[in-house]
Amino acid sequence: AKNKSRGTICAAKTVSKAQIRSMDRLRQEIAIMRMMDHPNIIRLFDSFEDHRNIYLIMELCGGADLLDGIIEAGSFTEMQAATFMQQILRATYYMHENRVCHRDLKPQEFLFATKDPIGKNLLKLVDF
């Protein structure tokens, strides 16, 4: 999806209302995502809904998730591993400072921002 006002390409995630266990919980997650503003946390730009779905317009991450990155790379240098851990901890610290707990942190919840080489990439926490 393209954001006309920003002129940027965004990700559009469709969530079927039929698949949602708790609408209140989803709305709370959306509210949390809206208030997050950190370089290592995916940005939610907008959300809207119709009678069947809720649509989330988010920052686009073009890279793989961290688990796939680990598997593909086979190994990281100590410096790369330290950089990734630093990014993960910065995102976690930011959330905790804002009284938010993710409750499902794992490598699959972090995406590389781009398809650039791992050493030049930024991790983004996704899926609240």
Among 50, 68, 104, 127, the one annotated catalytic: 104
12 Cβ partners below 8 Å, 6+ apart?
Answer: 1, 55, 56, 57, 58
Tokens representing 74 are 């086979």
Residues 6 or more apart in contact with residue 105 via CB below 8 angstroms: 88, 92, 125
DSSP 18-41: GG-S-HHHHHHHHHHHHH---TTB
Is 68 known to be catalytic? no
Task: Look up tokens 């990014």; give the residue.
Answer: 87
Q: Helical H runs in the chain?
A: 23-35, 66-73, 78-97
Catalytically annotated residues: 104
